[in-house]
Structure 1
Amino acid sequence: MPGDDTGRTDRLERLRAAIEAVQSGGGEPLVDELAEERLAPLTAKANRLIEQRDRSVAELRRRLTDSLDEGDDPALVDAVIDRCLRAGMLDDARFAHEWVRQRAANQRRSVAVLRRELREKGVAAPVIEEALEQISEGDQDRVLGELVTKKAGTVKTVPADRRDYDRALRRIVGVAARRGFPQGRSLTAARQALDARIAELGGAR
């Protein structure tokens, strides 16, 4: 996708800038000479992780901290994070915006799920809410409609009775619920989709 290519190019540019900053020392030393040997692999790991995709500050900090050996100074992680921030490689607002845009479009996630995912990534609440503003109620209705319509399409025969109907309805509602859509909203959309599918099959409600 063009947007993904642009994002990758931007990340590579930020990586090159960060590498130059590390190699030049960036003016004031962030760590003493004895720490530089351990700092180098941490910096390399940060570069690899960010090259794969944008990361939140908390996410990158967690990954780097997990890679420390026993006895390593946690300040090494702080130094790498600081360098990444100054080089523009880390930006929680940018990260959250892209996370919402891509997950909503490609994974068809609900706002509730996206909010939870960003919280788990350690993004601050105000930043999350700002990123979620790009999704409208209409967008959510469209995604929900697509989900339940696709699932309703798997119904091959008209339900024989109320029990069969309710069983099919629960399966359709379950698809929406697993994507984080509210139960009441999911039930309404699922019922409409199932009734439309029954009509297609030549039945009636």
Structure 2
Amino acid sequence: MRPRDPVTAPPAQQEVQAKDACLRLLTDRSRSRAELFNKLIDRGYDEAVVNRVLDRLTVVGLVDDAAFAEQWVRSRHVYSGKGKRALATELRTKGVAPELAAVALDQIDGEDERERATELVRRKLRTASLDFPVDGPGGRSSERDKVVRRLVSMLARRGYQQGMAFEVVKAELARAGSDTDDLSAE
């Protein structure tokens, strides 16, 4: 996105306009300080004006990167099924400091992550055909392997570690009645 021409209003008026722009952006969803900073700079506001406005909004509690990171992690984990790795990447792109991101990510433990991965796999398995053909080219194991690869890949794209993803998929296929004895993590 190409930055707009610089705002030419006097500094006091720029501050009012920048504050109003921030408040409009914050009505959609909470945002990190870096997100707001980048949006205002892209709109042509002076960097000094932007920093003053964001400092003021931080003091009154409308801009709080720690609270933003905690809310983002909780929401994206529960509603989008994101794993810790994906969430860490998202927070980094949102400009959240690594130490604040680490604290927010600590609210998800290994068991929470495994439970969410299990829910995602179960949901996918409800619509998947698990009636693998015994005969034919490739036979039973190639079709089953294809389902395993797809499920593990789905979890990997959402930020789950491969080993844990494979264990969850294998357990859920076994629970669904599929033969998983000859599967091994690759």
TM-score by length of 2: 0.82
- For 2:4, the equivalent position in structure 1 comes to none
- Aligned-residue offset at 1:157: 4.2
Q: Percent identity among equivalent residues? A: 33
- For 1:10, the equivalent position in structure 2 comes to none
Secondary structure, counterpart of 2:61 in structure 1 = coil
Contact 1:145/1:189 (<8 A) preserved: yes
- For 1:165, the equivalent position in structure 2 comes to 144
CA RMSD of aligned residues (A): 1.8
Picking from 174, 177, 184, the partner of 1:195 is 174
AA aligned to 1:62 is N
Contact 1:110/1:140 (<8 A) preserved: yes
AA aligned to 2:122 is T
Contact 1:65/1:74 (<8 A) preserved: yes
1:138 paired to 2:111: yes
Secondary structure, counterpart of 1:181 in structure 2 = coil
After the TM superposition, which segments of 4 or more aligned residues of structure 1 sit over 6 Å from their partners? none
Runs of 5+ consecutive residues of structure 2 not aligned to the other structure: 1-8, 134-139, 181-186
More helix by share: 1
Contact 2:77/2:83 (<8 A) preserved: yes
Runs of 5+ consecutive residues of structure 1 not aligned to the other structure: 1-32
Picking from 41, 55, 64, the partner of 1:82 is 55
Contact 1:177/1:186 (<8 A) preserved: yes
- For 2:43, the equivalent position in structure 1 comes to 67
Contact 2:41/2:47 (<8 A) preserved: yes
Contact 2:114/2:164 (<8 A) preserved: no
TM-score by length of 1: 0.75
Q: What is the correspondence of 1:48-67 to structure 2 with a 5 Å cutoff? A: 48-67=24-43
Q: Distance in 2 between matches of 1:171 and 1:154?
A: 13
Picking from 2, 9, 15, the partner of 1:39 is 15
AA aligned to 1:84 is L
- Aligned-residue offset at 1:56: 1.0
1:176 paired to 2:151: no
Contact 1:151/1:175 (<8 A) preserved: no
Secondary structure, counterpart of 2:10 in structure 1 = helix
Q: Distance in 1 between matches of 2:158 and 2:179?
A: 29
AA aligned to 1:195 is A
- Aligned-residue offset at 1:195: 2.8
